[in-house]
Amino acid sequence: MHKSTKAIRSQTPRSPFREHSTPLFLTSSFVFESAEQGRALFDETEEGNIYSRFSNPTVQEFTDKMAMLENHDEGLAFATGMAAVFAGFAGLLRSGDHIVSSRALFGSAHQIITQILAGWGIGHTYVDASATEAQWRAALRPETKMIYLETPSNPGLELVDMEMLGRISAEHGLLFYVDNCFATPILQNPADYGAQLVAHSATKFIDGQGRVLGGVLTGTAEVMDRIRFFARHTGPSLSPFNAWVLSKSLETLDVRMERHCSNALALARTLTECEGVKKVNYPWLETHPQFDLAKRQMRAGGAIVTIELAGGFEHASRLMQSLQLVSLSSNLGDTRSIITHPHSTTHSKLSAQDKAALGITEGLLRISVGLEHIEDLQEDFRKALEISYPRR
Ligand SMILES: *Cc1c(COP(=O)(O)O)cnc(C)c1O
């Protein structure tokens, strides 16, 4: 069976009530049939649910589907994407270890690495996403344990060559850890390049409808065992309710991504022709500096487009005010298109130097292209740009 069919057809075994849609096990604990069973479950001679901080059938349904989609052995769900990203570090690293990471990271991942892990004696070296193989190799140290990256990055849409980094990781016996949130398992699978661990913010395209927070890690059995120990005892668990929502959402992820990507490519092409737009960035646009890699590594270009406007914040603000349909929000990965000004919101905490290194200028706008009819989106942007940049 194809993965898209499995994402629709695999669910918790049908109960005596003969439900069609998957049931929701909204329960904090599970009963033991006997004292002996309680003992067996706790000493792990019998497998089964005990308490929803450890495991829950609805959460398991969601993580099994995610592991299947990511070509990994197992999954583990978290209350948010950041809880998942953090558990990947905290469950695997020890004081004295060192991470080599792509510089272009989600803001909170950057804070974890530079503030929290650094305070615990875990060092890091940042490398530019588009660095050469020699530059990546030069960042390795004897105490390096992990290579971490996001591709495409937020908001720069820089790609990292996963084939190359998978090769370097394997050669040096390193953990290869990828945040695959922007691409989703529909567009690329880091496991195919040797990543033993993948993180997702399920809040984004996996829910895809702006309703719930959630996060998930998928990985090899050996790596997930170590992270499960950390998660079981520290308790960043996903609510079964959110897991139910997210598992249902996986039934439509494939078709949603198809529409997200075709809308994004079409909108990117339209924007290249608009007055006032200095630059359009989209992985599957021929003008993207890593277009060849994007074509090789991704099955489509994704749902995020960025534009750089002439005139900085003032024009960015005027364009945002002039859009009628597109929402102003800092989220992404919704059915509804969203526009964000990273410089003043999501990435405002970065130093001026970091912003410059990542191309986060005052004129940069990030568009999360939704599922509306493409002509309505094109029309909204054309009109708003005409108001912002009237033809003389
Ligand atoms: C949003 C996001 C996260 C964090 O996820 P939350 O669910 O908001 O905690 C991590 N990585 C990337 C790339 C994201 O876009």
Q: pLDDT tens for residues 281-315?
A: 999 999 999 999 999 999 999 999 999 998 888 88
Domain assignment present for residue 209? The answer is yes
Confidence (pLDDT) at 327: 97
Residue with the smallest CA separation from ligand 1 atom 1 is 201
Please tell me the distance from the alpha carbon of residue 389 to that of residue 8, in angstroms, as a whole number: 46
Confidence (pLDDT) at 392: 57
Distance from residue 19's CA to the centre of ligand 1 (Å): 33
70 lines ligand 1 (CB under 6 A): no
Domain match, 193 and 284 both: no
Domain match, 303 and 244 both: no
183 lines ligand 1 (CB under 6 A): no
Domain assignment present for residue 274? The answer is yes
Please tell me the distance from the alpha carbon of residue 120 to that of residue 170, in angstroms, as a whole number: 26
Confidence (pLDDT) at 312: 85
Domain match, 258 and 326 both: yes
Domain harbouring 305, CATH code: 3.90.1150.10
Domain harbouring 241, CATH code: 3.40.640.10
Domain match, 172 and 122 both: yes
Domain match, 280 and 266 both: yes
Domain match, 205 and 240 both: yes
> Measuring CA to CA, how many Å separate 230 from each of 86, 180, 279, 325, 364?
11, 22, 44, 44, 39
Confidence (pLDDT) at 24: 97
Domain match, 306 and 194 both: no
Residues of the chain with pLDDT under 50: none
The residue among 158, 166, 97 whose CA lies nearest residue 133 is 166
Domain match, 231 and 368 both: no
Distance from residue 390's CA to the centre of ligand 1 (Å): 37
Domain assignment present for residue 15? The answer is no
For residue 271, the enclosing domain spans 254-388
